[in-house]
Structure 1
Amino acid sequence: MSYPYDASLFSEEHEAFRNTFRRFLKEEVEPNVDRWTEAHHIPPEFWIRAAKAGVLGMDIPEAYGGPGGDFLYRLVVAQEIGYSVAGATIGPAFIGDGCGEILCRAGTEEQRRKWMPGVVKGEVRVGLAITEPDSGSDVAATRTTAVRDGDEYVINGSKTFISNFLDAAIFMVGCKTNPELGAKGVSVIIVEADRPGFRRGRALKKMGCNASDTGELFFDNVRVPVTNLMGNEGDGMKIMLGGVNMDRIMWPIIGHAAATRAYHETVEFVKNRKAFGQPIIDFQNTRFKLAEIKTELTIAQAFLDKMIRDYKATGELDVLQCAMAKMWYTEMEGRIIDQCVQLHGGSGYMDEYIVSRLYTAARLHRIFAGTAEIMRVLVGRSI
């Protein structure tokens, strides 16, 4: 079984990378998923191996140590990790590699030279610290402050639900530099994890994706040089939403791939499992459910392919399309995987079956990178 993508959208180089990444998942990730899930942590040396395998920082320019690929390499990763059994446990951690792209795109030349080579080598993990205890998808409600004091910023506040919080060496932190300006007063400032006053809080226990660590960060009069500011003061919304917009095509692809994997697993299960003396697939209800799922997945593939074609033609991601996709695909994923669990019966509730892990991971996708409700707000503004 494999994800049924449209190969015409990708080059020979992308396909060669796909084969490399599939092999990497099979050899380096899948055998370790259970152990990492129990530990709620992926060991730092894994990222070094990922870098040596050539599956990190694919779209980072050669000038900063990367291979200089395009954004389509990240879409290949989304397709393959979404379809893989590993995706339901390490998905957020691996997609977090995209933080390097944000640093490369929005950072200063000094910042790129300082940190990007280590990012590409897997030696420097980067975290994106946006969400706060009292503000999630509403970035403009950020309470963490950064007050200018000479050649430094003094940062105070807290963040929560931060991916890769255990191992990240630097965090791109959303701060209010001009609170009176609201959303226009939000900036992004890089904070090194060894700065006095910076503290990692609890590792948070989650419903799923447990190999990907998630936790709290605290900033108590943390001083950083003004050279750690990304872009200009007030650029925070633009910088953060630029990265989030990437996520809003990545997660729909992951959701579609995961739903496809659940469908494939379910087809095999109902062919081999019997009830009342016959295979479950022979019941009309089973065939009708699977027919609906297959149809929905096939139609859904068409819009994803359109988004990719549009990106290739323009070099830009359409904000409205990404919002619609983030809203609809993740909800579709939830519907389909829920039906697949039902067709598995009691087995679908057992962690040893892939659909169980896909089910719990899918619930995150309607929240991560902007809730479905926020996506409805964005789409509604276009009407």
Structure 2
Amino acid sequence: MESTESGSPDPGPASEMLDFLRRYSREQLDSRRADERRGFHLSLIPDLAHAGLLGLQIPQRYHGQELSHSDTVKVWRQSGAIDCNLLILLAVHNTLGVPPIQDFASEDVRSAVLPELAQGRRLVTSAISEHGMGSHVRSISAGATKRPDGSYVLNGGKQWISLGADASYVNVFARLTDENGQDAGITGFLVDASSPGFVRGPEVITLGLKAVPQNSLSLENLHVPAERLLGEEGKGLLAAKTAFTHGRLMLAAGSVGAAMRALELTQRFARRREVATGNLAENGRIQQIIAESVAAIQAVETLTEHIVDRLDSGREVPEPFYFAAKILGCELMWQVVDRCVQLLGARGFVDTNVVGQFFRDYRLFRIFEGTTEAITVYLGSMILKHPQQFFSVFDDFDVDHTLGEYISRIDKLATTTTTTGRQRHILANQIGELACWAIVAVLSADGRHRSSMFAHTASWTEQQLLGKLQAAEDSRPFVELPTADELARYIGDFEESIGNVEQRRPGIQHDLDLLLRRG
């Protein structure tokens, strides 16, 4: 590796990887071509493997890099600034694929599989989502049946599987039926993709993130040896949760990198652009938007740094912190990217100016690993069930009087009486969102004395929390909503206004001609 270039971070375990990624992005990557061709160039995987990027946190005894959480987050941030496809390729392998094996497989399996993954000879992913469910793991319908010899047979389908057709190993989560025909709970299995009965489905044509394939998978009487179990029978949720937890931190860190890159380009433009009111960067409204964007980036970065500091020091991370990282990390990044498209004007709508492709690619982050709405309601529901368990997380911080008052008001809101399930969902969403903002506001307040920009971020996060708190309080009592049937009937009438416009022109034929197929 070449020496650390100017502007690189201080030397450390990840510094050579960051240097490699920056140099590689300049000399080898072509994001536009990858987007158009729906795939990377052929040398990418061996190049990434040679740089150690496919074994980030795999222990050195298995030929991995054994990076700290802090250094791993730096890799995610750097990758996010370069290309969403690159980030997701690395992240699916390292966060969704590796941890269930590293933490739950037997030592024999780890010794056989992890060196292959760390050295890039094989890729791995996890198959959780199904056609009828996304990240709601408890709704899994794919089935596994235990045989008398202790092995298992899997049947069912999986959908939206990143690298599903390219990975050599897939962590499959299925609902187990024991030898007596009883439901034994969701169980994890390490599946070799070359096994008979593992059927790769077609690639989904996505809005963005086109270079990383999303496939459906079919499991047709697929045999899995007993030793390929991930953890205990019926305890697959633990392995799946491990993958999701790593993924939420990755999404926040990658989002920081993406937002940084988009804002960097926008700032260059604003400083050079003259408009009717003068220089664009000197326009007060534009300054306000840019300052808010910087504050959003800094708030999420503060949150991710706090999480990795806890992890690297062996301290427990409260689960709501991971939810806050996913929810606010992805939502605020998307706001920054969207604003950058707007501030760039016509140049923002030109797809070759980087930010346009970011706009398409990173839109997925508000959906990936659970939509913002779904997991915000889930987080809020957990807090409503056990409010003191959540509010006790602030005991570790020196919370000032103002923020303490806001947190008390959130606690009071959590006691709101709801009369319908719909009201309960709305309340849960409000509490979940307020919880996320309370976390980042408290963390940002801790750093307000570091610089004037940190002081601005602390004030901005506090204002965001207050604004959302007041809006939640003002919505009492809840406005009665139309029923689901009423909404469906009204929207169903739209066809009378717009007509039937479904397109049925024949597309490209991909199947082999009937006369050329095997009999």
Alignment TM-score, normalising by the size of structure 1? 0.90
The more displaced of 289-298 and 336-345 is 289-298
What's the counterpart of residue 444 of structure 2?
none
1:237 lines up with 2:233 in the alignment? no
What's the counterpart of residue 56 of structure 1?
54
What's the counterpart of residue 23 of structure 2?
23
Query: What stretches of structure 2 of length at least 5 have no aligned partner?
Result: 388-519
CA RMSD of aligned residues (A): 2.5
Q: Which residue, 147, 156, 162 being the options, matches 2:145?
A: 147
1:270 lines up with 2:270 in the alignment? yes
1:13 lines up with 2:13 in the alignment? yes
What's the counterpart of residue 499 of structure 2?
none
What's the counterpart of residue 189 of structure 1?
189
1:242–1:68 Cα change, 3 Å: same
What's the counterpart of residue 322 of structure 1?
322
**Would you say the 8 A contact 1:155–1:222 is kept in 2?**
yes
The more displaced of 274-283 and 233-242 is 274-283
1:43–1:18 Cα change, 3 Å: closer
1:94 lines up with 2:93 in the alignment? no
Q: How far apart, in 2, do the equivalents of 1:27 and 1:111 lie?
A: 38
Q: How far apart, in 2, do the equivalents of 1:345 and 1:248 lie?
A: 32
Over residues 211-238 of structure 1, what are the superposed CA-to-partner deviations in whole Å (9 max), with x where a residue is unaligned?
1111111111111212221111112100
1:131–1:325 Cα change, 3 Å: same
**Would you say the 8 A contact 1:58–1:73 is kept in 2?**
no
SS state at 1:172 partner: strand
What's the counterpart of residue 200 of structure 2?
200
1:229–1:364 Cα change, 3 Å: same
Q: How far apart, in 1, do the equivalents of 2:210 and 2:317 lie?
A: 30
Q: How far apart, in 2, do the equivalents of 1:247 and 1:202 lie?
A: 25
Q: How far apart, in 1, do the equivalents of 2:108 and 2:41 lie?
A: 29
Q: Match for 2:147: what amino acid?
A: D
Q: Which residue, 24, 39, 53 being the options, matches 1:41?
A: 39
Q: How far apart, in 1, do the equivalents of 2:43 and 2:293 lie?
A: 40
Query: What stretches of structure 1 of length at least 5 have no aligned partner?
Result: none
Q: Match for 2:167: what amino acid?
A: A
**Would you say the 8 A contact 1:246–1:317 is kept in 2?**
no
Q: Match for 1:146: what amino acid?
A: A
What's the counterpart of residue 261 of structure 2?
261
**Would you say the 8 A contact 1:320–1:378 is kept in 2?**
no
Alignment TM-score, normalising by the size of structure 2? 0.67
Per the TM alignment, residue 44 of structure 1 is displaced from its structure 2 partner at its CA by: 5.8
Per the TM alignment, residue 133 of structure 1 is displaced from its structure 2 partner at its CA by: 0.4
Give aligned-pair identity as a percent: 25
Over residues 322-341 of structure 1, what are the superposed CA-to-partner deviations in whole Å (9 max), with x where a residue is unaligned?
01121112111111111111
SS state at 2:313 partner: helix
Per the TM alignment, residue 347 of structure 1 is displaced from its structure 2 partner at its CA by: 1.7
Per the TM alignment, residue 278 of structure 1 is displaced from its structure 2 partner at its CA by: 4.3
Q: Which structure has the larger Rg?
A: 2
1:192–1:45 Cα change, 3 Å: farther
Per the TM alignment, residue 188 of structure 1 is displaced from its structure 2 partner at its CA by: 0.8
Alignment of 1:243-322 (within 5 A): 243-276=243-276, 278-314=278-314, 316-322=316-322
1:331 lines up with 2:327 in the alignment? no
SS state at 1:185 partner: strand
What's the counterpart of residue 209 of structure 2?
209
**Would you say the 8 A contact 1:90–1:209 is kept in 2?**
no
Per the TM alignment, residue 78 of structure 1 is displaced from its structure 2 partner at its CA by: 0.8
